[in-house]
């Protein structure tokens, strides 16, 4: 037999007392049992083979069975001033949201559509597109971050949300604190992994930060993405991209990697070790990368160059990575500063 996660719904005698003897409505029983939806009560009654027809309020022409819904001032207070949803108002009077909506229309109170409802009652995420956050987001977008929009068929609609994913929890927390302040914990999600993404690769446990949809991010989306007729978007580097040391730092933590190369010569006195630094930029075109490294050189005097990179004799995306000139690797570290999170310390060699 199936057991509910709500203990009281597994108690036959309790259910029989409330539903059959006291003849309480499903919503009242749900409230007593601390159940989120009255449908769970209906299913529990069926499992226990208890016959208790659902109590439906009688229809009264021109007004509502619920006295509160006949009071337009009360409705305006709850719906317009306190910003409660129809679902929340329905729970206050033990009704359903459809009855509340009908009463709003009857009293000529404008009803919010679904999109307005989501935006109307939600709390902000603490995000503001100021100069500092813009530099951080630009660094993320040069790497693995994205600006997401809803899609209906071939058409993108709505405001974008900034999103980033990583296997490093402390890194995601670090960026969330910078972008969202005190509300950073609400913007992080956990993914347990274990799914087969493609041949021979199983996804790892990971963490993601996602902002709410913001109007201020729409101009940024239009700069960073080209959308074709099918609604598919391609990330590009904006020609007016704004970069500072935070941009380089977050880009490096996202897509940068380093390793030490041991150079050996016939004359051993010339043997030495080189620290090499690269950025995985295969999603961008070659001319975009030349434009980017030119900006970075003008701002920080760091020399970089795009180069073709193959793994197992295969190229990914456009095939071009950005290489930091070996003599300028120390200068790059000097510009971005010390590693801010332990999980990324391996990149600071």
What are the tens digits of pLDDT across the range 2-32? 667 788 888 888 988 888 888 787 778 888 8
Does residue 58 lie within any of the structural domains?
Answer: no
- Domain termination residue (choose one: 199, 217, 236): 236
Q: How many domains does the chain have?
A: 4
pLDDT at 123: 65
137 within 8 A of 220, measured Cβ to Cβ:
yes
251 with 320, same domain: the answer is: yes
4 within 8 A of 10, measured Cβ to Cβ:
yes
**pLDDT over 70 percentage in the chain:** 91
* Cα–Cα distance, 321 to 282 (Å, whole number): 6
Residue 158 has pLDDT above 70, yes or no: yes
158 with 210, same domain: the answer is: yes
pLDDT at 119: 60
Residue of 191 and 234 predicted with greater confidence: 234
Q: Are strands 304-308 and 146-152 parallel, antiparallel or unpaired?
A: unpaired
Regarding pTM above 0.75, the answer is: no
Does residue 174 lie within any of the structural domains?
Answer: yes
* Cα–Cα distance, 64 to 48 (Å, whole number): 33
In this prediction, residues 171-198 reach a mean pLDDT of 86
Does residue 305 lie within any of the structural domains?
Answer: yes
In this prediction, residues 339-344 reach a mean pLDDT of 96
pLDDT at 40: 83
- Domain termination residue (choose one: 236, 262, 280): 236
140 with 232, same domain: the answer is: yes
36 with 93, same domain: the answer is: no
157 within 8 A of 264, measured Cβ to Cβ:
no
131 with 101, same domain: the answer is: no
**Predicted confidence band at 114 (pLDDT cuts at 50, 70, 90)?**
low
pLDDT digits (tens, 9 = 90+) for 55-92: 555 555 567 778 888 899 999 998 888 888 888 888 88
* Cα–Cα distance, 52 to 18 (Å, whole number): 10
Q: Which long-range contacts (CB under 8 A, 24 or more apart) does 97-106 make?
A: 99/57, 99/64, 99/65, 99/66, 99/69, 100/69, 102/64, 103/64, 103/66, 103/69, 103/70, 103/75, 104/75, 104/79, 106/64
Q: Using CA of residue 119, residue 170, residue 256, residue 205, what is the dihedral sign?
A: negative
Does residue 11 lie within any of the structural domains?
Answer: yes
Residue owning tokens 């990324």: 344
pLDDT at 157: 83
323 with 248, same domain: the answer is: yes
**Predicted confidence band at 219 (pLDDT cuts at 50, 70, 90)?**
very high
Residue 323 has pLDDT above 80, yes or no: yes
Tally Cβ neighbours within 10 Å of residue 43: 14
Residue of 158 and 259 predicted with greater confidence: 259
Does residue 259 lie within any of the structural domains?
Answer: yes
258 with 343, same domain: the answer is: yes
Residue of 301 and 19 predicted with greater confidence: 301
Does residue 59 lie within any of the structural domains?
Answer: no
- Residue 149, burial from CB neighbour count under 10 angstroms (0-12, 13-18, 19+): buried
Among 39-53, 134-148, 245-259, which stretch is predicted with the lowest mean pLDDT?
A: 39-53
pLDDT at 29: 83
In this prediction, residues 87-100 reach a mean pLDDT of 82
Residue 197 has pLDDT above 70, yes or no: no
pLDDT at 57: 54
Strand ranges, E, within 130-286: 146-152, 155-166, 188-191, 196-198, 201-202, 206-210, 225-227, 233-235, 256-263, 272-279
225 with 140, same domain: the answer is: yes
**Predicted confidence band at 318 (pLDDT cuts at 50, 70, 90)?**
confident
Q: Which of 307, 286, 284, 303 is nearest to 295 (CA)?
A: 303
pLDDT at 250: 96
pLDDT at 304: 96
pLDDT at 144: 92
**Predicted confidence band at 39 (pLDDT cuts at 50, 70, 90)?**
confident
Query: Mean pLDDT in the chain?
Result: 86
19 with 78, same domain: the answer is: no
* Cα–Cα distance, 296 to 138 (Å, whole number): 13
189 token code pair: 């999600």
* Cα–Cα distance, 149 to 131 (Å, whole number): 23
Residue 131 belongs to domain with CATH number: 3.10.28.10
Q: Using CA of residue 136, residue 142, residue 146, residue 151, what is the dihedral sign?
A: positive
Give the domain extent around 323. 243-349
Does residue 314 lie within any of the structural domains?
Answer: yes
Does residue 56 lie within any of the structural domains?
Answer: no
Among 8-12, 33-37, 235-239, 311-315, which stretch is predicted with the lowest mean pLDDT?
A: 311-315
228 with 281, same domain: the answer is: no
157 with 220, same domain: the answer is: yes
- Domain termination residue (choose one: 175, 204, 236): 236
Distances (CA, A) of 35 to 6, 18, 30, 44, 272: 7, 14, 5, 11, 69
pLDDT at 200: 65
264 with 333, same domain: the answer is: yes
What secondary structure does DSSP assign to 261-284, as a single string? EEE--SSGGG-EEEEEEEE--TTS
């Amino acid at each position: 037999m199936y057991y509910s996660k709500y203990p009281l719904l597994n108690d036959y005698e309790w259910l029989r007392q409330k539903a059959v003897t006291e003849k309480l409505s499903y919503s009242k029983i749900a409230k007593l049992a601390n159940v989120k939806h009255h449908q769970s009560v209906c299913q529990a009654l069926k499992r226990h083979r208890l016959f208790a027809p659902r109590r439906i309020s009688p229809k009264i022409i021109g007004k509502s069975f619920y006295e509160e819904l006949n009071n337009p001032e009360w409705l305006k207070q709850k719906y317009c001033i306190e910003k409660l949803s129809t679902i929340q108002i329905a729970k206050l009077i033990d009704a359903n949201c459809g009855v509340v909506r009908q009463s709003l229309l009857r009293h000529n109170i404008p009803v919010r559509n679904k999109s307005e409802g989501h935006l109307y009652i939600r709390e902000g995420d603490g995000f503001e597109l100021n100069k500092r956050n813009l530099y951080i987001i630009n660094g993320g977008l040069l790497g693995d971050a994205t600006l997401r929009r809803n899609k209906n068929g071939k058409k993108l609609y709505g405001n974008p949300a900034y999103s980033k994913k990583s296997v490093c929890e402390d890194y995601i927390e670090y960026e969330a604190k910078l972008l969202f302040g005190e509300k950073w914990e609400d913007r992080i999600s956990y993914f347990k992994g274990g799914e087969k993404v493609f041949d021979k690769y199983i996804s790892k446990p990971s963490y993601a930060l996602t902002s709410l949809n913001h109007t201020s991010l729409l101009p940024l989306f239009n700069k960073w993405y080209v959308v074709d007729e099918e609604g598919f978007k391609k990330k590009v580097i904006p020609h007016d991209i704004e970069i500072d040391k935070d941009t380089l730092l977050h880009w490096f933590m996202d897509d940068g990697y380093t390793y030490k190369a041991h150079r050996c010569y016939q004359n051993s006195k010339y043997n030495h070790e080189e620290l090499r630094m690269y950025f995985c930029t295969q999603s961008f075109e070659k001319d975009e990368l030349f434009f980017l490294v030119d900006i970075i050189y003008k701002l920080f005097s760091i020399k970089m160059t795009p180069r073709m990179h193959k793994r197992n004799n295969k190229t990914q995306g456009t095939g071009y990575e950005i290489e930091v000139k070996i003599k300028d690797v120390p200068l790059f570290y000097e510009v971005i500063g010390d590693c801010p999170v332990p999980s990324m310390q391996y990149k600071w060699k």
